Amino acid sequence: MGAAALDRELDDLAATARAELVREIEASGAWDEDPVWREAFEAVPRHLFVPYYYVGVVGGYERRWGESPDPRTRERWLRGAYEDAPLATRLRDGELLSSSSQPSLMARMLAELGVEDGNRVLEIGAGTGYNAALLAHRLGDDLVTTVDLEPEITESARQHLAAAGHHPAVVTGDGARGVPERGPFDRIIATCALTSIPRAWLAQCNPGARILAPFATGLIALTVRDPAHAEGRFLHTPAYFVPLRGETRPDQESHQLGTIPRRARNHDLFRFLLALTRDTLAPQEAFAVWEREEQPERRRYGITISTDRAWAWLDDPKGPYIWPLR
C-alpha cells in the first residue's frame, strides 16, 4: 500500500475513532448541561496534539509515535490517541511533566466552566494545546489565552494548534501570575493541580467571573465578586493533575496514617479531606471530622478568598469547620 493510501486509511480510522470517543463522552453525561461541547470534540482532532505519547509498561514507559515506519505501530498510536484516557506526553528522568487529560474529564470541566459567547478565557497549563483548541473552536481564537512555564511545552502547543487550524494566544510564563495583558477574563480554567489560589487571578477577572481549578484531588469552582473576594464549592468528581510548575509540589503522603483505620486510609473522600487540610489538621483530627460528619462528599466542601486570608470549609464558610489555606 502506498503512502497516500496509508494516510487516507489513517484519516478514516481517526474519524471513526473520534466519533466513538464522542459517543463515549456523551454516555458519561459529561456535557449534559452544555451539549455545545459535543460539536467541539467532534471537530477537533486529538491525534494532532499527541504526535507521540508514553504508555506504562513493566519497568517504565513505551513510546508510541505517529511517524513510526511500522503501520501497526501507527495504528496503535492513533487508536490510543482516541481512548478516553489521559496520555503522558512529556517525561524527564521518569517524572511526568505534562499530559493530555482524560477527554471525558476535560469535557466535564469545560461544561462546568459555564462558558458563554463572547467570554474571554485564560487557561493555566497549555499542555498539548488540545484544551485550548476546544475552547478556541467554541469561542474563537481571539478570546482564548493559554499559558505555561516551559518554553518547550508552549512551542509544541503552538505548533499543534496551528496544525489544527487554531491560533489562540500561547504565552510562556508563570501561570500563577496570570496574563494581565490579555485580561480581564470572564473564565479561568486550570489544567494543573494547585496548592493555593493565586490572588493575581482574581485581579485579572471581571466581576462574576468563574474560576475552575484542580485542588486537593478535587475541582473547585469559584465565583469572583471582585479582586479581593471569591467563593465557591467543589464539584463532586475527583481529579488528579500534574502540579502547577513554579509552585512547591505538595507532598500528599506527608501525613503519617499508620494509626488511621485502613477503611479511611484507602478511602478517596478521606484522602481528599487530608489533602485539603494538610496544613492545619493532623490525620487523627481529620479522621474525627470525617467520622462525625458521616464521610462528607466533595460537594459539601468549599473555599473562600477574602481581602487578607483564604480558607476551606465544610458546609458553611462561617460554620464550625473552617481551615486556613496558604
Tell the residue number behind the cell numbers 477574563, with chain if given.
Answer: 185
Task: Sheet with 52-57: list strands edge to edge.
Answer: 60-65, 52-57, 87-92, 95-100
240, three cell numbers: 488528579
Return the CA Rg of the chain. 21
Q: How far apart are CA 2 and CA 12, in angstroms?
A: 16
The SS3 of residue 82 is coil
Element (H, E) at 227: none
24, three cell numbers: 463515549
Q: How far apart are CA 105 and CA 107, in angstroms?
A: 5
Phi-psi category of 94—alpha, beta or left, where left has phi over 0 and alpha has psi -120 to 50? Answer: left
Of these residues, 98, 99, 100, 101, which one is catalytic? Answer: 98
Q: How far apart are CA 322 and CA 231, in angstroms?
A: 13
Tell the residue number behind the cell numbers 458519561, with chain if given.
Answer: 28
Q: Are strands 218-226 and 169-172 parallel, antiparallel or unpaired?
A: unpaired
Half-sphere exposure of 164 (CA within 13 A, CB side): 32
Q: What type of residue sits at position 163? A: A
Q: Are 127 and 191 in contact (CB under 8 A)?
A: yes
Q: What type of residue sits at position 224? A: V
Alpha helices in 55-99 (DSSP H): 71-81
Q: Are 237 and 230 in contact (CB under 8 A)?
A: no
Please name every residue paired with 91 in a beta bridge, in sequence order, or none if there are none.
96
Is there a catalytic annotation at residue 28?
no
By annotation, the residues acting in catalysis are: 98
